[in-house]
């Protein structure tokens, strides 16, 4: 069993357009964490017949088949769940939270004690089932230059039929709405950030534990198997999804740490040029650290060396401005002495 986390919506609220306007210069942001509990089934099933061959008694047939590569469309499945979640309960949850916080004073920070939505308002079975109706759970692609052999043997006593089938293993996904963060603030031109903070109402890490959906699909194995007898419990539609209501309670899990919504608010609602520059620089450093790039200054190679591509600026152009001014001032001081030396060499 593995646990996978996703966030709704997928944006980071760094742009003001991603915040929900509430009127009277007030905005809100809601971030919901989805928990995907993935597990593998223990019993495989055989799918429909891929090929059939009649084998005579005593005969041996050798088949050569190209090896195949399996592509499971996990991203399409996740996207279908995200779309259904947004349309099903994200907007209604945000509206319910805003209504609950309407009775709280400015500066509120805590948890809500009342249930925000009922199960009938957030359950996703029908929405996801409609979305995945026209989607296949996997695709099968042939590889180039790779083959494997199958040997079909005939037994004495009569002809028998060899069937080539593909084996499928079940994959189970249980999806929960784990928790959410919410931030509400007012913003006007000319305000300082301390004034914006005084208008905030926030909820950090409010636990939900909603069971959203139970999903099962089947992943094929790349090589086919040979069967001579009838197959029990055949998987008739291996590309289809099995969608049902989830009744199991959410397991204990700790979500990954994320920046608070206030960090994103400082980028989306800058109150001065200086604060805007600081917020932008902080966000760039955070992204660079997340992808593993060093934030130190780049080293420049010498002009004409192998470290440059021949387009480096001249040596004087690469000197600091203060150093260039010092060089010019020293040159002006030496100019009269050089002129007298040239006149002395010329003679009277």
Mean pLDDT over each residue of the chain, to the nearest integer:
79
Q: What percent of the chain has pLDDT over 90?
A: 21
Nearest Cα residue to 81 out of 44, 40, 117, 38: 38
64-73, 165-174, 213-222, 235-244: lowest mean pLDDT where? Answer: 64-73
Q: Would residue 265 count as lying in a domain? A: no
Q: Domain range holding 89?
A: 2-259
Q: What is the pLDDT of residue 330?
A: 59
- Give 311's pLDDT tier (boundaries 50, 70, 90): very low
Comparison of pLDDT for 80 and 178, the residue scoring more: 178
Predicted local distance difference test score (pLDDT) of residue 27: 94
Inside any domain, residue 326: no
3 state SS for the chain = CEEEEEEECCCCCCCHHHCEECCCCEEEEEEEEEEEEEEECCCCEEEEEEEEEEECCCCEEEEEEEEEEEEECHHHHHHHHHHHHHHHHHHHHHHHHHHHHCCCCCCCECCCCCCCCCHHHHCCHHHHHHHCCCCCCEEEEEEEEEEEEEEEECCCCCCEEEEEEEEEEEEEEEEEEEEEEEEEEECCCCCCHHHHHHCCEEEEEEEEEEEEEEEEEEEEEEEEEEECCCCCCCCCCCCCCEEECCCCCCCCCCCCCCCCHHHHHHHHCCCCHHHHHHHHHHHHHHHHHHCCCCCCCCCCCCCCCCCCCCCCCCCCCCCCHHHHHHHHHHHHHHHHHHHHHHHHHHCC
Q: How far apart are the C-alpha atoms of 36 and 19, rounded to whole Å?
A: 26
Backbone angles phi, psi at 185, to 5 degrees: -150, 165
Give yes or no for a contact between 137 and 239, defined as CB atoms under 8 angstroms apart.
Answer: yes
In a domain, 10, yes or no: yes
Q: What is the pLDDT of residues 172-198, one digit of tens each?
A: 999 999 999 999 999 988 888 889 999
What's the whole-model pTM score?
0.70
Task: Confirm whether 195 is domain-assigned.
Answer: yes
- 89 in any annotated domain: yes
Region 6-26: mean pLDDT is 88
Residue 244 lies in a domain: yes
Per-residue pLDDT band for 34 (boundaries 50, 70, 90) equals very high
Specify the number of domains making up the chain.
1
Alpha carbons within 13 A on the beta-carbon side of 264:
23
Q: Which of 49-63, 115-129, 169-183, 254-268 has the highest mean pLDDT?
A: 169-183
Predicted pLDDT of residue 104: 87
């Amino acid at each position: 069993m593995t646990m996978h986390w996703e966030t709704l919506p997928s944006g980071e609220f760094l742009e003001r357009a991603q915040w929900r306007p509430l009127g009277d210069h007030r905005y809100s942001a809601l971030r919901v964490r989805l928990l995907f509990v993935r597990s593998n089934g223990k019993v495989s099933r055989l799918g429909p017949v891929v090929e059939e061959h009649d084998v005579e008694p005593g005969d041996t047939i050798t088949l050569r088949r190209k090896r195949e590569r399996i592509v499971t469309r996990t991203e399409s499945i996740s996207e279908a769940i995200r779309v259904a979640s947004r349309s099903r309960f994200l907007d209604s949850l945000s509206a319910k939270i805003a209504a609950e916080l309407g009775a709280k004073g400015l500066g509120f920070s805590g948890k809500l004690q009342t249930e925000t939505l009922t199960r009938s308002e957030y359950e996703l079975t029908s929405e996801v089932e409609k979305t995945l109706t026209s989607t296949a759970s996997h695709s099968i692609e042939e590889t180039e230059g790779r083959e494997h052999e199958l040997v079909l043997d005939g037994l004495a006593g009569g002809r028998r039929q060899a069937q080539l089938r593909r084996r499928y293993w079940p994959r189970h996904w249980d999806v929960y709405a784990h928790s959410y963060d919410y931030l509400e603030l007012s913003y006007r031109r000319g305000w300082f950030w301390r004034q914006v903070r005084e208008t905030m109402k926030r909820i950090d890490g409010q636990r939900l534990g909603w069971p959203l959906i139970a999903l099962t699909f089947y992943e094929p194995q790349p090589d086919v198997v040979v069967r001579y007898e009838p197959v029990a419990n055949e998987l008739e539609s291996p590309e289809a999804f099995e969608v049902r209501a989830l009744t199991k309670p959410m397991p204990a899990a700790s979500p990954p740490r994320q920046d608070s919504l206030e960090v994103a608010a400082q980028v989306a609602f800058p109150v001065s040029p200086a604060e805007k520059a600081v917020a932008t620089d902080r966000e760039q450093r955070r992204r660079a650290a997340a992808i593993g790039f060093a934030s130190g200054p780049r080293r420049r190679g010498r002009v004409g060396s192998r470290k440059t591509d021949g387009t480096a600026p001249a040596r004087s152009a690469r000197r600091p401005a203060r150093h260039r001014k010092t060089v010019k001032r020293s040159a002006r001081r030496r100019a009269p002495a050089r002129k007298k030396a040239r006149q002395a060499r010329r003679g009277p």
